Structure 1
Amino acid sequence: MPKAFAKAAKRHGVPERVLLAVSYLQSRWDCNGGGPSTAAGFGPMHLTDGAALGRSRRHHPDGDGDLRGDGSLPPKSSMGRRGGRHASQHTLEHAAELTGTSRDRLRKDPAANIAGGAALLADYQRALGAPASADPADWYGAVARYSGASTEEAAAAFADEVYEVIREGVTRVPDNGTKMTLAPSPEVSPTRFWLTRLNLPRLARADAVECPDSIACEWIPAPYQDLGNGKYGNHDLADRPNSQTIHYIVIHDTEVEYDPSICIVHNPTGKASWHYTLRAYDGHLAQHVRTKDVAWHAGNWYVNTKAIGLEHEGFLAAGGFWYTEAMYRTSAKLVRFLADKYDIPLDRAHIIGHDNVPGLLPDKVETMHEDPGPYWDWAHFFELMGAPLRPDGDATTATVMILPDYDRNRPKYTGCDEANPGDDCRPHGSASIWLHTEPREDAPLVKDIGKHPRGESTYSVYDHAARAVTGQRYVVAERQGDWTAIWYLGQKAWFHNPESLPVAVPSRTRIATPRPGLASVPVYGRAHPEPEAAPSGVMMEPLIPLQYKFPAEQSYTVGLTTIGEHYHAKTFDVSGHRVVRGTQEYHQIQFGHRVMFVRSQDVVVTES
């Protein structure tokens, strides 16, 4: 593939460094087997075909589920899901016209795809009246247009990221197995004058927007509206962090395109909201709810009151397996900004997926969500945040962090094709590993009695019942040759962990073990205050454990320690809202794929 970039650059008069950097920001040089990205982009140059946009019925846009997470709201009706087609979704068609190459070949042939991308850049350069220069600095305007962004700020943010890649350089082995290198060029300083020739509108950056200055952000507010008869939508006003500490940032994917997702969060009668939406093709960011307020996104009221929710345009499986580098980079900058602002540790106990959020009560566990799924590259995400996931122990350390090589880790999944859900998914890099009942590949998967009360775990891409994912930390239960067992959902769970290609590394952290004399310890889906902590007029639910057991002989890693809290907010009038804070202390543990809570008096906590 390096020769394909050199040939295309020479043929179309595009600096090779520009071509390589644009490709990296769009696809990280992956070919993805001719399959579409979450933004309907194909190949290393992410040439887009809007007709290939995925569809799914697995997430909150369908109107089912309770994203507020306390059962207080009635179901809402389904909303329309198809948005209009933007010009950015038709670059494959334009490349076909410029090169005379068939659309099918542009999708499937990496060399043709790279040539198509080079032809687009050259065409954009000509349209600007810019010189066909060998200097990468002169191509800023064409690069900005390649983003497909509809505003000047978003186009500039994309171009700035491309030139950051050029200055810093990058080396990677993409999915075709051929090592790719873009040498650093720190001397390149782009000529930003050409951006004005695109004549793109500028965003009015509202005072409410909370994001770094380097990110193109807009304010599209979610409505806080009284609907009458005691009903309101679609979030709750609060005063965080003055009223409550923000512990989490929750990563979601939308399972619809960007425009329909904006319609969903803008619906005053809906029961879904989140703080930010990120667009796939250019990484553009929209904020909907102030971070001081509580959005309805995680399906667990306790987590919602302690979290900020980020929705990423994408499809867990049905529309493609990969997320754009542009979106990863914007998201990483935003998460770093929010983590710094609210003193949130950059680890997987605090930066969690929607699929890591526990069910609030036993009857909620089975229907909890699965996004962003096994194809979200957590290791790369943390690298971009400047908080890389690394081992910090040795062979004697009692705890491990799951850390497979994303590109080389290609476990079996089924269900990516909704028309043929039993078929295997196309092999692809993954952040997850499968967990077995015994140390052999053909052993059954471990069981999750909450996720599958009436059946067994499956290899479905949507089924995380027997999976551990990058960054999560567990206590080692046993080792046999190339196999390692961890404690997981009250049982011993085995995974293949050869020394030549490990999928877990030593990682020191705190460990919770049942106090002597206890046969087992209950686990909970929230850190709930004791009922007697509630003031007069505030009814508190009893503390109800989940259906799992934490046996005496097992141990689990501790992610954070907190005091039980509950935000009582069931009315549009905020004067009746109360933060109920008790004295009951909890430890958050990595109990399975999801985090859960144990009472401090039930366990002994030690260092690993």
Structure 2
Amino acid sequence: MHPGTLPRTRGRKALLGVAAATALALAAPSAAAAPETGPGPVNRAFSQAAEEFGVPRDLLVAVAFGETRLDGHDGEPSHAGGYGVMHLVSSPRRHTLEEAAELTGASERELRHDNTANIRGGAAVLESYADRTGVSERDRDRPAAWYPAVARYGSPDDLRMGRFYADTVYTILEGGVRARTSQGERVTTPGRKVRPERGRYTDVPPPAPGPTEKPDPRGADYPPARWVPAHPGNYRAGRSAAIDTVIVHVAQGTYTGTVNWFRNPASRVSTHYVVRSSDGEVTQMVRDADTAWHARDANPRSLGIEHEGYVADATWFTDALYRASAALTAHLCDTHGIPRDREHIVGHTEVPGNSHTDPGPHWDWDRYMELVNGG
């Protein structure tokens, strides 16, 4: 399909001129929220993109919320090379940004920086995935039927991570979304009970706590964690130094996106643990005894913890995230004999030879250390 050519849809309208929306800020989901469709530009963008491409509006919002919490981050990329509210990715293995450009005729720059174009591009990609995964035309009005397309949107070549991603989106859909833009516009969806139709993903086991991931039957070193191993080309087996440091990172991306990125052989990076913002869920990706690639020269002697979120947005640093991360850090300190102090529990930005700024000015070190030490 050539740029500028409108793809096939049911009842599709022509291109809709909508003013670019400003970046969005996170607000808590609410099952009681009533849908709001205007008159703001972001609501119009979701509604018009949903109608044009035949994607249920609430599902489109849930995908965006799960990807970015509806924050376009002024066109800056995530760690995985994703842009805008819909997290359109341009990376060696994923090309949803380029796909959206071809499907909608918008330039890649527009898709990166214009929220309206980005939302429209995400809807176009989802519709094309619905075509590829066999979602029938008569089922397009039912969010439950879109599960395979959503899973492909999250992870096109890893069925297990695709299910992980889609399950998260459908949890958001069930709970509902309430968000507010930086200009005060509210974007909401009601909570709804949906039984997703998983299709080919039905028998794919999602990541789960404990020893479920083969070929390593030991499971996670930290018992509450999921065990989802990073790609073996993204870390080194064994250690060349004793462990004496825990390094706190902020992922500049989402939980599922971060896990996916460390499973991608093109990333050449990894961490030991990833913590989710909404509920504090923990995934381990590299064993404590092995060397994750997260902090350059400090890698041989450190354990890395990535936290879902963005350095510039404090709303990602929830009570659940702080408490879960602190419990993990306390466990790691006790297990490996690391003192529970700020000389041995540090931010990425404090590690010599690193140019990163995480966890950034919004990270509450006093609170975190109080929790680590049993406060």
Specify the TM-score bucket, using the shorter chain as the normaliser.
Answer: 0.5 to 0.7
SS class of match (1:36): coil
Distance 1:315 1:180, change over 3 A: closer
Partner in structure 2 of residue 206 of structure 1: 216
Cα distance in 2, alignment partners of residues 206 and 353 from structure 1: 30
Cα distance in 1, alignment partners of residues 297 and 61 from structure 2: 43
Contact persistence 2:269–2:294 (CA under 8 A): no
Partner in structure 2 of residue 130 of structure 1: 135
How far the C-alpha of 1:180 sits from its partner, in A, is 1.8
How far the C-alpha of 1:335 sits from its partner, in A, is 4.1
- Whether 2:57 is the aligned partner of 1:23: answer no
Cα distance in 2, alignment partners of residues 235 and 261 from structure 1: 26
How far the C-alpha of 1:206 sits from its partner, in A, is 1.8
Distance 1:262 1:26, change over 3 A: closer
Aligned residue-pair number: 302
Cα distance in 2, alignment partners of residues 341 and 275 from structure 1: 13
Partner in structure 1 of residue 305 of structure 2: 310
SS class of match (1:124): helix
RMSD: 5.2
**What amino acid is aligned across from residue 290 of structure 1 in structure 2?**
D
Cα distance in 2, alignment partners of residues 296 and 43 from structure 1: 27
Distance 1:111 1:194, change over 3 A: farther
**What amino acid is aligned across from residue 165 of structure 1 in structure 2?**
I
Contact persistence 1:22–1:45 (CA under 8 A): yes
TM-score calculated relative to the size of structure 1 = 0.40
**What amino acid is aligned across from residue 108 of structure 1 in structure 2?**
H
Cα distance in 2, alignment partners of residues 188 and 12 from structure 1: 21
Distance 1:217 1:183, change over 3 A: same
Distance 1:173 1:353, change over 3 A: farther
How far the C-alpha of 1:334 sits from its partner, in A, is 7.8
Cα distance in 2, alignment partners of residues 312 and 253 from structure 1: 5
Larger radius of gyration: 1
**What amino acid is aligned across from residue 130 of structure 1 in structure 2?**
V
Distance 1:149 1:92, change over 3 A: same
1:100 counterpart (98, 105, 109):
105
- Whether 2:358 is the aligned partner of 1:373: answer yes
Cα distance in 1, alignment partners of residues 133 and 294 from structure 2: 43
**What amino acid is aligned across from residue 222 of structure 1 in structure 2?**
R
How far the C-alpha of 1:177 sits from its partner, in A, is 4.0
Distance 1:19 1:150, change over 3 A: same
- Whether 2:167 is the aligned partner of 1:160: answer yes
SS class of match (1:154): helix
**What amino acid is aligned across from residue 472 of structure 1 in structure 2?**
D
Distance 1:118 1:130, change over 3 A: same
Structure 1, unpaired ranges of 5+: 51-84, 225-232, 238-245, 266-273, 360-366, 376-430, 433-468, 475-556, 563-587, 589-608
Cα distance in 1, alignment partners of residues 43 and 56 from structure 2: 14
Contact persistence 2:295–2:348 (CA under 8 A): no
Q: Larger % of helix: which?
A: 2
Partner in structure 2 of residue 218 of structure 1: 229
Distance 1:170 1:205, change over 3 A: farther
- Whether 2:352 is the aligned partner of 1:354: answer no
2:52 counterpart (4, 7, 11):
11
How far the C-alpha of 1:105 sits from its partner, in A, is 1.9
1:120 counterpart (120, 125, 129):
125
Cα distance in 2, alignment partners of residues 560 and 315 from structure 1: 22
- Whether 2:272 is the aligned partner of 1:275: answer yes
Cα distance in 2, alignment partners of residues 177 and 40 from structure 1: 28
**What amino acid is aligned across from residue 194 of structure 2 in structure 1?**
V
User: Taking every aligned residue pair, what percent have the same amino acid on both sides?
Assistant: 29
How far the C-alpha of 1:147 sits from its partner, in A, is 0.7
How far the C-alpha of 1:42 sits from its partner, in A, is 1.7
Partner in structure 2 of residue 252 of structure 1: 249
**Which runs of structure 2 are paired with 1:552-563 in the superposition (5 Å)?**
none
**Which runs of structure 2 are paired with 1:588-607 in the superposition (5 Å)?**
none
Contact persistence 1:136–1:188 (CA under 8 A): yes
Contact persistence 1:8–1:115 (CA under 8 A): yes
> Residue deviations 1:462-513, cap 9 Å, x none?
xxxxxxx435359xxxxxxxxxxxxxxxxxxxxxxxxxxxxxxxxxxxxxxx
**What amino acid is aligned across from residue 167 of structure 1 in structure 2?**
E
**What amino acid is aligned across from residue 103 of structure 2 in structure 1?**
L
**What amino acid is aligned across from residue 8 of structure 1 in structure 2?**
A
How far the C-alpha of 1:166 sits from its partner, in A, is 0.9
TM-score calculated relative to the size of structure 2 = 0.61
Cα distance in 2, alignment partners of residues 151 and 204 from structure 1: 15
Q: Larger % of strand: which?
A: 1
How far the C-alpha of 1:31 sits from its partner, in A, is 2.2
How far the C-alpha of 1:20 sits from its partner, in A, is 0.3
Cα distance in 2, alignment partners of residues 154 and 353 from structure 1: 30
How far the C-alpha of 1:2 sits from its partner, in A, is 1.1
> Residue deviations 1:553-608, cap 9 Å, x none?
xxxx977779xxxxxxxxxxxxxxxxxxxxxxxxx9xxxxxxxxxxxxxxxxxxxx
**What amino acid is aligned across from residue 373 of structure 1 in structure 2?**
D
Distance 1:127 1:215, change over 3 A: farther
**What amino acid is aligned across from residue 250 of structure 1 in structure 2?**
I
Partner in structure 2 of residue 472 of structure 1: 366
Cα distance in 1, alignment partners of residues 294 and 67 from structure 2: 28
> Residue deviations 1:383-421, cap 9 Å, x none?
xxxxxxxxxxxxxxxxxxxxxxxxxxxxxxxxxxxxxxx
Contact persistence 1:32–1:175 (CA under 8 A): no
Cα distance in 1, alignment partners of residues 309 and 229 from structure 2: 20
How far the C-alpha of 1:120 sits from its partner, in A, is 0.7
Cα distance in 2, alignment partners of residues 179 and 104 from structure 1: 26
Contact persistence 1:354–1:371 (CA under 8 A): no
Cα distance in 2, alignment partners of residues 181 and 342 from structure 1: 40
Larger RCO (CA within 8 A; separation ≥ 6): 2
Contact persistence 2:154–2:165 (CA under 8 A): yes
Contact persistence 1:254–1:314 (CA under 8 A): yes
**What amino acid is aligned across from residue 20 of structure 1 in structure 2?**
V
SS class of match (1:289): coil
SS class of match (2:178): strand
